[in-house]
A and B are shown apart, each in its own frame.
Chain A
Amino acid sequence: MTQYVFRRLISMPLLLLGVATMAFFLSHFTQADPLSALVSERQMGNPEVVAAAKQRWGLDRSMPEQYAIYVKNLVTGDLGVSFRTRRPVLTDIAERLPATLELVIFAMLFGTTSGIVLGVVASRFHDRPADYAARFFALFGSTVPVFWSGLLLLYLFTVKFGLIPGPGRLDARADQPPFVTGMFTLDALLSGQFGTFLDALHHLVLPAFVLGWSVTGIISRLVRASMLDVLGQDYILAARAKGAGEARTLLRHALPNAMIPTLTIVGYSFAYLITGAVLTEAVFAWPGIGSYAVDSARTLDYPAIIGVSLIGATAFLLTNLVTDVAYAYANPRIKLG
């Protein structure tokens, strides 16, 4: 067990180097000229301006040199400077991370809860209308484009019903709560600003729902399948024979065992949340890493894109590691290779 964790841990830097190498080469075998993102069209004819820009961003060095510089900087935590914001990429990302984390945590809460509930309901009413309805709701969520459902729901709830405030994290006139974690809901609570907390929560509901819905399906499918599996086993029959009520049988006897395989998928669905977060943030003008990535991609700002990809891959690899280890603890029968 310890050995397995250890081996996974040492392979991390290697995987990360691979990830960095790949991201680097991707962005450099480009047909799009990064200069066009740096120098205005009018200045392109001016050789001095072009040369100065090239020198400033190291574009005049050879590719291996650029790569060596890049990796050396990475090791020291330097992700380079964004062409667009002219600030260190790491600073940009760090500033926007809390917004994304807050959104992803709330989305995960919704997605996991609804996924488990739907999965249990579907398994209880196996092959009956409730099963079909739960499955369809889940499938719908994982098939619907979040940038479309987000847009329409935003229109519906803000313009038509006036129930939800517009995009953004807080009311435009509201002051941000004092910075502790950068997550507005938590910070507002910590400083006792209950009004701000409600405002932040109000702004979170819709994007978190849209984003969470996209993982509901992944989770509920697995919960349903493993519940069906567990419900067919003898000990469930024994529990029923002893007179355990339906709720008790389902929730106390069946669900805990059915949750073991589900644990893995909850971890892995994090990748889908990142994917979805990029697009959700773009729709809801959510000032997180996702919208940063979109803006960077649009302007071919490759230090920023590489930076976000690296952070995303790191987060992804770490969650997978944690998931695998947690799974091993939850189910000691699993053999780790």
Chain B
Amino acid sequence: MSMVLGAKAQGKPKITLRPVLIAGLLIVGFWIVVALTIDVWTVYDPLKLVARKLQPPSFEHWLGTDALGRDVMTRTLYGARYSIAISMIVVVCSVAFGSLVGAMAGFFGGWTDSVLMRLVDITLSFPPVLLAMAVAASLGPGLQNTAIAVIAVWWPVYARLMRGQVLDVISRDHIEAARAGGASSYRLLTKHILPLSWTPTIISATMDFGQVVLLAASLSFIGLGAQPPSPEWGSMISDGAAHFYSWWIAFGPGVAILSLGLGFNFIGDALRDILDPREL
């Protein structure tokens, strides 16, 4: 979330950060390619029992087999589909909804602003995981509901961000000029204000991808997200916790969540340096 962004060191040409950007793109690109093409080149079926159960890593099964005898490596690779899909959906929906609310609050001000921002305040009063758990529990377990729960937690961040930006842009002279020229509210917002307000949202959204993957996996770990036998990372780690001595069951999915999180962070960091060279 936005406060994780923290602050950035003062300027200095950011040539040093380029390797980080490349690393980030490689990691995220790897997982996207895996998610899209895994069906074509997979050796095992992620749902079929392919070997004896609870086998440690071996040449045939690089990450061993789980409690039912399914190949953990295959399941980990397939897990990318869930995590990438869910983080895309969550980030896009949260950005769309949050930005809309924030832009309206900032643009119209007055009562609209008060009501919408109080709603944001209330939502942000909850520790994220507890709110997500409450939403997911009340909607019932399942991937779709996990997505809704995470969106419910995430949109206010973008609402605040967008409101601040809109308030900043709206006070500039060119808005006054456009208004004097007779531009409608709609036109002002879409043509004159929003195009100048996106940068922080884009940076924040990129950073948030990793956090969203993490939160969604957490819900699955608790048992509220993807249900068995889906090869989802969080629920695979939960399987691993149930078979504590077979560490390899949880190993792969954890590395996957971690790498995707790091990848998005690297990209977000680099993006911030490129798009917004001011200190943030």
Q: Which residues of A contact B (CB under 8 A)?
A: 15, 18-19, 22-23, 26-32, 126-127, 139-140, 142-145, 147-149, 151-152, 154-155, 159, 217-218, 221-222, 224-226, 228-229, 232, 261, 265, 268, 271, 274-275, 278-279, 282-283, 293-294, 296-298, 300, 302, 305-306, 308-309, 312-313, 316-317
Contacts and interface: CB of A to CB of B under 8 A. Distances in A.
A239 to B, nearest CB: 20
Contacts of A26: 134-135, 138
A294 B220 CA distance: 11
B168 to A, nearest CB: 15
A149 B258 CA distance: 10
Contact of B224 (A140, A154, A218, A297): A297
A283 B261 CA distance: 21
Contacts of B63: none
Contacts of B254: 144-145, 148-149, 151-152
B241 A145 contact: no
B9 A302 contact: no
Interface residues of B, number: 53
B6 interface: yes
Nearest to B210: A143
Given A26-B134, A218-B6, A225-B6, A155 B129 contact: no
Majority DSSP secondary structure for residues of B touching A:
helix
B87 to A, nearest CB: 14
B242 to A, nearest CB: 10
Given A145-B214, A316-B126, A228 B10 contact: yes
A226 B8 CA distance: 9
Give 10 closest A-B pairs by Cβ, nearest first: A148-B254, A225-B7, A221-B6, A143-B261, A18-B122, A30-B138, A275-B129, A32-B140, A274-B127, A297-B137
Nearest to A31: B140
B152 to A, nearest CB: 8
Nearest to A20: B122
A222 B7 contact: yes
B133 A278 contact: yes
Given A283-B241, A313-B125, A297 B136 contact: yes
Interface string B232-265: 0010010011001101001101100110011001
A155 B247 CA distance: 7
Contacts of B172: none
Contacts of B137: 27, 32, 296-298, 300, 302, 305
B223 interface: yes
Most chain B CB atoms below 10 A, which of A222, A271, A302: A271
B36 interface: no
Interface of B: 3-4, 6-10, 12, 16, 118, 121-123, 125-131, 133-140, 210, 214, 217-218, 221-224, 234, 237, 240-241, 244-245, 247, 250-251, 253-254, 257-258, 261-262, 265, 279
Contacts of A155: 244-245, 247
A149 B218 CA distance: 13
A167 B224 CA distance: 23
Contacts of A222: 6-7
B121 A218 contact: no
27 contacts: A30-B138, A127-B12, A144-B261, A145-B217, A147-B218, A147-B234, A148-B253, A151-B241, A151-B254, A152-B251, A159-B244, A218-B3, A218-B6, A222-B7, A224-B9, A225-B8, A268-B3, A271-B127, A279-B221, A293-B133, A298-B222, A298-B224, A305-B133, A305-B134, A308-B130, A309-B127, A312-B127
Given A148-B257, A222-B6, 18 more contacts: A18-B118, A18-B121, A18-B122, A18-B125, A26-B135, A27-B138, A32-B140, A143-B214, A143-B265, A151-B250, A152-B254, A154-B244, A222-B7, A225-B6, A274-B129, A294-B133, A300-B140, A302-B134
Contacts of A144: 254, 257-258, 261
A229 B6 CA distance: 14
A15 B124 CA distance: 10
Nearest to B122: A18
